């Protein structure tokens, strides 16, 4: 069988070692145990020369290719690392083919001659043949970055049984022999016959009595995906997710709940300001007109904690009713064509307009006093964002919110994305280092990030005044939704239909409101600001306004689309040997 890295073309000289660095002696005690595992103790005398380094690293492959080109796997478990007789810090990581142990302290440097002792267990490295079993082990590996002055090994069996021995030295695939000796039926010794250059190694082979020890199968290591869902790592995943959930809940509890006045009279100087208790009962009283004469878009944004395109469309109808523009419905150009609408700006005093209303008119009519709905498609979406932002500012100016609702949502959404990036980094590190616990923690954070992203929409919090206006707005919405119950109010106020219509658009009940008006036997006159294509009545006009609001909302929000793609991949591998160097 061959190490996967042997498929790569090697330079005969390998990497150039740092000046002065070398291994004066590399000796391995290789003990084949009765269980079929192999215990390896490596004694490495490393000379850093005049350089100051943190320590050394050792790489051992755990993936092999059999004669059919299929992957075989072994398991390498490090037991201890000692430097100059004392335990030394080390970290272990994995890639797709190698286990890598990094020895030393990143905050300290050392130099000169250092003696290292590495102990590890390897399983799945014994092979079975027709008449004997075999240990075939590349003890130094051919990936060392420094020369090795002398290399040697002893191989011990649990009982007599050695049949034959072989030793090879030099670069990968070399057949140059080295010294081997059968010391007894249980032990053989090996030694290089010359110094080994960088990227050269020593390989030993011992054939022994068939069946002397079990041949452990070289099973594929568990994937990170399998390890993530073992009890411990699953527990970490759940724990991190629950901790993240607790943090998200705490953020909402502290900053995402509305304030309110416990007193029914907000003007009361003794009224107590506090966070609205969860489940607290609040009475909604029907309002017969918009509270504090709030405009339709303000009512809509106050109810939803969000400036919507529909709120802007309702503003157009509201501005038309107040004398700032005309709406003309254009006839269809052909049977299956779509209806177009034309807006015409009227000369009017704009002094009393709110910021978002003024912004809307300025941007709609920036090129003239007439604009069609079809001309706004794919063009007005950027202007729409500015108008919505001005509407959010209006809510803050009127003390309904401490911060713009969209800004609050964006802040928490960005935080969720940052957490998502961190979790992605943990998952990536878990796969690269083969540490399932890191990947588990990352997956737990992914869940918390998604939860925070969902919670972001609920994070805007109304002030106590905003909460009071919210309840009054719901009372006005109740009036509009059940208009048929309040016939008297409509009889007493002749222009009430046109005044309420923009609010009905915001509440999403335009056609229902118009039908209720017709059912009450009331016949409002056609408004002077609207020109349609058919006979006017309340129900037909309501349907036209519903169509107008839907069509105009779609036209204003329409934006160009884009697309993209990409990809990549990786590979690597090896069986027995590996190498090392300094860092």
Element (H, E) at 103: strand 98-103
314 touches 357 (CB < 8 A): no
| Phi-psi region at 452: left, alpha or beta (left = phi > 0; alpha = psi -120 to 50) | alpha
Largest CA distance in the chain: 117
What residue ranges define each of the domains in the chain, with the CATH number in brackets?
2-221 (2.60.40.1730)
Q: Which residues pair with 341 in a beta bridge?
A: 329
Show the beta-strand stretches assigned E in 171-306.
179-182, 187-191, 201-209, 259-261, 273-275
Going across the sheet that includes 151-156, the strands are 86-87, 75-83, 113-123, 38-47, 22-32, 151-156, 187-191, 179-182
Q: Is 191 helix (H, G, I), strand (E, B) or coil?
A: strand
Q: What is the full per-residue pLDDT of the chain (583 aa) written as tens digits?
A: 444 333 333 333 333 444 578 999 999 999 999 998 999 999 999 999 888 899 988 888 877 666 666 667 788 888 999 999 999 999 888 776 788 889 999 899 999 999 999 999 988 888 888 889 999 888 888 788 899 999 999 999 999 999 999 999 888 778 888 888 899 999 999 999 999 988 888 889 999 999 899 888 755 556 666 677 778 888 888 999 999 999 999 999 888 888 877 655 555 444 445 666 666 667 788 888 888 889 999 999 999 898 888 898 889 889 988 999 888 888 766 655 677 788 898 888 888 899 999 999 999 888 888 888 888 887 887 888 899 999 999 999 999 998 999 999 999 999 999 999 999 999 888 877 777 888 889 999 999 999 999 999 999 988 888 888 998 999 999 888 886 676 666 655 667 778 888 998 899 888 887 777 767 766 667 788 888 776 665 666 767 777 777 777 777 776 654 433 222 222 222 234 555 666 6
Single out the residue of 538, 485, 477, 473 nearest to residue 511, CA to CA: 538
Measure the CA angle with vertex 448, ends 445 and 454; round to 5°.
Answer: 145
pLDDT for the residue numbered 431: 79
pLDDT for the residue numbered 225: 66
Three-state SS letters, 269-310: CCCCEEECCCCCCCCCCCCCCCHHHCCHHHHHHHHHCCCCHH
Residue-level length of the chain? 583
Q: Give the list of residues 6+ apart from residue 528 with CB closer than 8 angstroms, or none.
A: none
- Parallel, antiparallel, or unpaired: how do β-strands 574-575 and 71-73 relate? unpaired
User: In a 10 Å sphere around its CB, with 0-12 CB exposed, 13-18 middle and 19+ buried, how is residue 272 labelled?
Assistant: exposed
Q: What is the pTM of this model?
A: 0.57
Count Cα neighbours of 544 within 13 Å in the Cβ-side half-sphere.
22
Q: Output Rg (C-alpha) for the chain, integer angstroms.
A: 39
CA 262, 267, 272, 275 dihedral sign is positive
* Tokens found for residue 149: 């002055």
Q: Which segments of 107-257 does DSSP mark as H helices, in order? A: 224-228, 231-255
321 touches 529 (CB < 8 A): yes
Between CA 152 and CA 22 the distance in angstroms is: 16
């Amino acid at each position: 069988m061959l190490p996967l890295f042997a498929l790569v073309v090697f330079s005969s000289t390998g990497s150039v070692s740092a000046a002065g660095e070398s291994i004066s002696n590399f000796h391995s005690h290789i003990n084949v145990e009765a269980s079929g595992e192999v215990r390896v103790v490596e004694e490495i005398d490393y000379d850093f020369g005049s350089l100051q380094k943190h320590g050394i690293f050792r790489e051992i492959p755990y993936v092999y290719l059999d004669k059919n080109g299929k992957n075989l796997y072994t398991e390498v478990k490090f037991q201890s690392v000692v430097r100059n007789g004392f335990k030394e810090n080390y970290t272990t990581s994995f890639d797709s083919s190698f286990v890598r142990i990094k020895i030393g302290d990143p905050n300290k440097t050392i130099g000169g001659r250092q003696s290292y002792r590495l102990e590890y267990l390897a399983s799945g490295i014994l092979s079975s043949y027709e008449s004997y079993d075999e240990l075939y082990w590349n003890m130094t590996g051919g990936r060392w970055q420094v020369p090795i002055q002398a290399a040697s090994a002893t191989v011990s069996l649990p009982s007599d049984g050695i049949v034959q021995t072989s030793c090879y030295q030099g670069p990968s695939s070399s057949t140059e022999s080295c010294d081997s000796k059968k010391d007894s039926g249980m032990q053989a010794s090996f030694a290089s016959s010359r110094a080994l250059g960088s990227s050269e190694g020593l390989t030993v082979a011992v054939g022994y009595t068939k069946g002397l020890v079990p041949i452990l199968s070289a099973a594929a290591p568990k994937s990170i995906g399998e390890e993530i869902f073992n009890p411990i790592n699953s527990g970490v995943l759940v724990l991190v997710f629950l901790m993240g959930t607790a943090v998200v809940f705490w953020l909402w509890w502290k900053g995402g709940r509305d304030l309110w006045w416990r007193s029914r009279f907000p003007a009361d100087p003794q009224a107590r300001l506090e966070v609205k208790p969860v489940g607290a009962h609040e009475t909604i009283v029907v309002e017969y007109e918009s509270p504090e004469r709030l405009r339709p878009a303000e009512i809509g944004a106050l109810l939803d904690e969000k400036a919507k395109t529909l709120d802007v469309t309702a503003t157009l109808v509201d501005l038309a009713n107040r004398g700032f523009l005309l709406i003309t419905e254009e006839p269809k150009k052909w049977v299956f064509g779509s209806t177009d609408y034309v807006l015409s700006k009227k000369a009017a005093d704009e002094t009393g307009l709110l910021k978002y209303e003024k912004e809307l008119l300025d941007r709609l009519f920036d090129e003239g006093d007439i604009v069609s709905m079809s001309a706004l498609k794919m063009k007005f979406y950027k202007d729409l964002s500015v108008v919505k932002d001005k509407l959010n500012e209006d809510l803050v100016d009127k003390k309904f919110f401490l911060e713009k609702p969209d800004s609050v949502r964006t802040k928490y959404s960005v935080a969720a994305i940052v957490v998502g990036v961190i979790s992605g980094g943990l998952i990536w590190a878990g796969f690269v280092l083969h540490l399932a616990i890191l990947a588990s923690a990352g997956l737990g954070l992914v869940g918390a990030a998604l939860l925070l992203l969902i919670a972001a929409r609920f994070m805007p919090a109304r002030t106590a005044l905003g909460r009071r206006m919210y309840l009054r707005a719901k009372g006005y919405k109740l009036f509009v939704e059940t208009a048929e119950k309040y016939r008297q109010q409509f009889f007493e106020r002749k222009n009430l239909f046109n005044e309420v219509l923009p609010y009905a658009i915001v509440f999403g009940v335009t056609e229902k409101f118009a039908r209720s008006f017709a059912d009450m036997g009331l016949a409002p006159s056609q408004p002077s600001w609207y020109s349609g294509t058919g006979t006017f009545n309340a129900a037909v006009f309501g349907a036209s306004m519903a169509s107008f609001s839907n069509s105009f909302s779609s036209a204003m929000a329409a934006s160009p689309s884009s697309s993209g793609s990409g990809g990549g991949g990786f590979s690597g591998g090896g069986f027995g040997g590996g190498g090392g160097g300094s860092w």
